[in-house]
């Protein structure tokens, strides 16, 4: 395909950024990201109105000052996690495991899911360093894949995809359903983020913090239709050491839904609601980890005034 001049410029900037990230120690990367976030957002607060609107819906009991504090901490976590997503592509197995802490129960759940031979659907949201689970799994010999969005600039897309795959993470772009199902047949753990607005055509409405939210349903459809196990990953940054993350994996059970009298659409909605509620519980525990800047409630069930007026 033809590339514009801007594509080459973006590629060069990204290459320089990636090189710096690769050279710096992990602690320096995280501290740099945190410092940039603090300084930058002191003057410019991107999507502040959206973040505060989302927070007012999720936590109506909070004061404006409390919501602004969470918004500012969310900025910091977003940037630190974004920088880490690049750095982890170049870390050794030992370096990763030194910074990813997983409880024994979660280790057992992960091992059990890897032994069924069907693969596994891993759901999560834009919450914490959400790529950590895939890196942890690959360190223990579990094949992992990320479903990612397509980028307009294919040069920068390859700059991210190639080192990711060298780090052991299979990259599946949206709409590559054949590749996704092949990965599951090969016993991959396939991670899908399921908390962004999915529109009226591709989403299903379930409650998220008490308001109907259009939510991606593919994880539920795949698990229900092919009886693929499902896990929810939770990643919380350590309060005493910002370079470390506490990971946990929870099985999302759906046998009761599969055996119910609901039709397929009803079963899908019930399962989407289940893991969306589980994500909501995570966010309630650590609201500063969530990416409140997204227009989560953009699409309404009926055509009426926008939530973000």
Mean pLDDT of the chain: 95
Residue-level pLDDT at 175: 86
Residue-level pLDDT at 121: 98
Alpha helix ranges (H) inside the chain: 5-23, 26-43, 48-58, 64-87, 93-97, 104-114, 132-139, 154-166, 177-185, 199-202, 218-226, 255-258, 264-285
- CA 224 to chain CA centroid, Å, is 21
Strands 120-124, 144-148: parallel, antiparallel or unpaired by DSSP?
unpaired
Residue-level pLDDT at 1: 56
Average pLDDT estimate for 82-96: 97
Average pLDDT estimate for 123-143: 97
Average pLDDT estimate for 126-135: 97
Is 73 exposed, middle or buried, given 0-12, 13-18 or 19+ CB atoms closer than 10 A? middle
| Residue among 285, 283, 281, 249 at smallest CA distance from 133 | 249
- CA distances to 90, 244, 281 from 126, rounded to whole Å, are 22, 18, 14
Confidence of residue 307 (pLDDT cuts 50, 70, 90): confident
In this predicted structure, the answer to whether residue 144 has a pLDDT above a threshold of 70 is yes
Segment 205-214, tens digit of pLDDT: 999 999 999 9
CB 257 within 8 A of CB 271: yes
- CA 169 to chain CA centroid, Å, is 15
Residue-level pLDDT at 2: 59
Segment 161-191, tens digit of pLDDT: 999 999 999 999 988 999 999 999 999 999 9
- Terminal-to-terminal C-alpha distance of the chain: 39
SS3 label, residue 294: coil
Please state the pTM of the whole predicted model. Answer: 0.94
Domain layout of the chain by residue ranges: 5-289
């Amino acid at each position: 395909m033809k590339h514009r001049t801007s594509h080459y410029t973006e590629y060069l900037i990204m290459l320089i950024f990636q090189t710096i990230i690769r050279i710096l120690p992990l602690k320096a990367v995280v501290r740099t990201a945190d410092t940039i976030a603090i300084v930058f957002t002191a003057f410019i607060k991107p999507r502040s109105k959206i973040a505060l609107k989302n927070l007012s819906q999720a936590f109506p009991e909070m004061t404006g000052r409390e919501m602004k504090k969470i918004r500012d901490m969310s900025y910091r976590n977003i940037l630190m996690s974004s920088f880490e997503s690049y750095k982890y592509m170049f870390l050794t197995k030992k370096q990763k495991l030194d910074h990813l802490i997983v409880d024994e129960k979660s280790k057992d759940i992960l091992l059990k899911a890897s032994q069924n031979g069907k693969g596994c659907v891993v759901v999560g949201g834009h919450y914490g360093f959400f790529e950590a689970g895939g890196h942890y799994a690959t360190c223990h010999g579990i094949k992992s894949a990320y479903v990612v969005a397509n980028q307009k600039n294919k040069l920068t897309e390859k700059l991210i995809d190639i080192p990711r795959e060298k780090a052991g993470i299979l990259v599946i772009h949206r709409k590559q359903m054949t590749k996704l199902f092949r990965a599951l047949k090969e016993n991959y753990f396939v991670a899908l983020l399921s908390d962004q607005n999915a529109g009226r055509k591709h989403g299903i409405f379930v409650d998220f913090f008490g308001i109907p939210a259009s939510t991606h349903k593919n994880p539920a459809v795949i698990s229900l239709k092919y009886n693929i196990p499902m896990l929810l990953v939770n990643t919380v940054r350590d309060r005493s050491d910002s370079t470390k993350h506490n990971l946990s994996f929870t099985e999302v059970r759906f046998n009761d839904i599969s055996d119910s009298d609901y039709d397929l659409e009803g079963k899908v909605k019930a399962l989407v609601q289940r893991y969306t509620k589980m994500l909501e519980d995570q966010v309630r525990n650590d609201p500063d980890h969530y990416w409140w800047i997204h227009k989560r409630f953009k699409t309404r069930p009926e055509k009426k005034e926008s939530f973000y007026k």
